[in-house]
Amino acid sequence: MIPSGHAAIAGLWVYLHTQPLLWLTATLAAYAIGVVLHERAGRSPLVNTVAVAVALLVSMLLATGTSYATYFDGAKFVHFLLGPATVALAVPLFRNRQVVARAIMPIAAALLAGSLTAACSAMAIAWALGATWQTVLSLAPKSVTTPIAMGVSERIGGSPSLTAVLVILTGIVGAVIATPLLNVLGVRDWRARGFAVGLAAHGLGTARAFQVHEMAGTFAGIAVGLNGIATAVLVPLLIEFLR
Amino acid sequence: MILALTLLLGCQLGGEIVSQALHLPVPGPVLGMVFLAILLIARGRLSLELGQAADFLLRHLSLFFVPAAVGVISNGARIAREWWPLSVALVVSTALTITVAALVFQSVERLIARGRR
C-alpha cells in the first residue's frame, strides 16, 4: 500500500529523525550558514560562526523536540575531528619552530601568569556574585580545550557537561573581544596577540587568530597545548589549596 | 591524504594509550600533538601531504566545536538560574586573561630584547 502524502512525510520524518545522517547534515549546514553570515558581515568578530550555528541547531532541536543524545549521535562524527585537529596543531608549530624557540622566555612567563589569571579570576567573580560551588568549580578550566577542561572539571568536582558549554562560551567571547581589546591595549606583536587569545580562548580563539594572521594562529596553537597541560596540573592543586 | 590522516590518528592513538596507561591528566590529542611535533623535529621536514591535511583540519577548527556547544540545551536550567555570575565571570575573566597574557608576553620580550643589546 502506498501511504498518503501526509502520512508518508510523517513516516519519513520518524525515520530520518533518528538517523545520524540528518543531524550530521544539519550541523554542517548550520555552520555553512554561519560562515556565509560571517562573510556578509565583513568578517566581523561580532558575527561568530559557531554562535550562529549553535543558535540555529538549538532552535531546530527545540522546535522538533529532539533530544541532545539523538542529535549527538549524528554530530559525533564532526566532534571526533577535534582530536586529529588538535594533533595537527604540531604542523604550524613545526613550520615556525625557529620563531617559537626564540620566544621561549615570554611564552613561559605569559603561560604561568595567564593560566592562573584564567582560573582564579573566573572562580573569584562567580563566587563573589553568588554562584553555587559546583558552578564555580565548573568554571575553573573554562579557558582550555574541551577534552582537558571536562577531565579537570570531573576531577575537581565540577559538572563536566556544564564545563563543556562554558568552554565554548569562553571561546566565543574570546574570539569576539580579542581584536578590539588587543588594539586598545596597544599590543601589536602577532606572537603576543596570538598567544594571549589561544591561552584565554583555546581552539575557538585559535581559529579566530588564524583568520587574522598566520603567526598569531601559530602562537595561539602553542598556547592551547601549553595551557591545556598547565591547567591540568595547576587547577587541581589550586582547588586542593582552597579546601 | 590517507598516509597523512593515518599519521595524525596514529599520534592521537599513541597519546591516548600513554595518557591512559600512565593516568596522566593530559588528554590523548594534546600528547598526540607533542608526539607529532617531536616526530617532525626529529625528521627535520614536513611532507606536502601532511601539511595539506593539517591545513584542512585547522581551517575548519571551529566547526568541530559545534556539537559540544549544542550541549547548552542540556544545561539550560542551571544556566538560566545562574546566568548573571556566569556571564560576568566569562566575559571579565576572558578579557582579563587576554590582557595579562599579552602584556606579560610583551614586557618579557622587551626586557630580553633590551638585555641582548
The per-residue pLDDT for B86 is: 95
How close, in Å, is residue B21 to chain A by CA atoms? 16
Verify that A136 and A195 share a domain, yes or no.
Answer: yes
Verify that A39 and A100 share a domain, yes or no.
Answer: no
- Which of A23, A48, A80 is the C-terminal boundary of a domain? A80
Give the whole-angstrom CA distance, residue B47 versus residue B51. 6
Domain-embedded: residue A185: yes
Verify that A119 and A23 share a domain, yes or no.
Answer: no
Segment B7-29 mean pLDDT = 90
The per-residue pLDDT for A2 is: 54
Verify that A50 and A96 share a domain, yes or no.
Answer: no
Give the whole-angstrom CA distance, residue A138 versus residue A154. 8
How close, in Å, is residue B88 to chain A by CA atoms? 7
Asked if the Cβ–Cβ distance from B92 to A125 is below 8 Å, we say yes
Verify that A178 and A223 share a domain, yes or no.
Answer: yes
Domain-embedded: residue A123: yes
**Chain B positions in Cβ-Cβ contact with residue A217 (cut-off 8 Å):** 58
Domain-embedded: residue A35: yes
The per-residue pLDDT for A4 is: 65
Neighbours of A12 (CB within 10 A): 11
Domain-embedded: residue A27: yes
**Chain A positions in Cβ-Cβ contact with residue B50 (cut-off 8 Å):** 91
Verify that A55 and A129 share a domain, yes or no.
Answer: no
Domain-embedded: residue A105: yes
In the predicted model, residues of chain A with pLDDT beneath 50 are 1
The three grid cell numbers given for residue B83, joined into one nine-digit string: 546566568
Neighbours of A213 (CB within 10 A): 15
Verify that A182 and A236 share a domain, yes or no.
Answer: yes
Long-range contacts of A30-39 (CB under 8 A, 24+ apart): A30/A54, A30/A56, A30/A57, A30/A60, A30/B66, A31/B63, A31/B66
Asked if the Cβ–Cβ distance from B58 to A148 is below 8 Å, we say no
**Chain B positions in Cβ-Cβ contact with residue A185 (cut-off 8 Å):** 99, 102-103
Give the whole-angstrom CA distance, residue A165 versus residue B15. 25
Domain-embedded: residue A85: no
Reported as a single tens digit per residue, the pLDDT across A82-139 is 889 989 988 988 998 888 889 999 999 999 999 999 999 999 999 999 999 999 999 9
- Which of A80, A104, A126 is the C-terminal boundary of a domain? A80
ipTM exceeds 0.85, yes or no: yes
Query: Could you tell me if A53 lies within 8 Å of chain B, comparing CB atoms?
Result: yes
Nearest chain A residue to B14, by CA: A87
Verify that A125 and A36 share a domain, yes or no.
Answer: no
Domain-embedded: residue A76: yes
Three-state helix/strand/coil letters over B37-48: HHHHHHHCCCCH
Asked if the Cβ–Cβ distance from B75 to A152 is below 8 Å, we say no
Give the whole-angstrom CA distance, residue A170 versus residue A164. 10
Verify that A55 and A98 share a domain, yes or no.
Answer: no
The string of DSSP codes covering chain A is -PPPHHHHHHHHHHHHHTSHHHHHHHHHHHHHHHHHHHHHTTT-TTS-HHHHHHHHHHHHHHHHT--HHHHHHHHHHHHHTHHHHHHHTHHHHHHTHHHHHHTHHHHHHHHHHHHHHHHHHHHHHHHHTT--HHHHHHHTTTTS-HHHHHHHHHHHT--HHHHHHHHHHHHHHHHHHHHHHHHHHT---HHHHHHHHHHHHHHHHHHHHHHH-HHHHHHHHHHHHHHHHHHHHHHHHHHHHH-
Range of the domain at A63: 5-80
Asked if the Cβ–Cβ distance from A126 to B85 is below 8 Å, we say yes
Verify that A200 and A230 share a domain, yes or no.
Answer: yes
Q: Which of residues 112-171 of A touch B (CB under 8 A)?
A: 113-114, 117-118, 121-123, 125-132, 135, 139, 142-143, 145-148, 151-152, 155, 159, 161-162, 164-171
Domain-embedded: residue A86: no
Q: Pick A83's closest partner by Cβ from B29, B66, B74.
A: B29
Give the number of domains in chain A. 2
**Which residue's entry shows cell 620580550?**
B109
- Which of A80, A101, A127 is the C-terminal boundary of a domain? A80
**Cβ-proximal residues to B10 (8 Å cutoff; 6+ apart), any chain:** none
Verify that A102 and A210 share a domain, yes or no.
Answer: yes
Verify that A71 and A10 share a domain, yes or no.
Answer: yes
- What does pTM read for this prediction? 0.83
Query: Could you tell me if A107 lies within 8 Å of chain B, comparing CB atoms?
Result: yes
Neighbours of A190 (CB within 10 A): 19
How close, in Å, is residue B117 to chain A by CA atoms? 15
Nearest chain A residue to B25, by CA: A232
A vs B: CB pairs below 8 A:
328
Element (H, E) at B100: helix B83-116
What is each CA distance from A195 to A160, A219, A240, in whole angstroms? 26, 5, 28
Tell me, what DSSP letter sits at residue B25? S
Reported as a single tens digit per residue, the pLDDT across B40-83 is 999 999 999 999 999 999 888 889 989 988 988 888 888 889 99
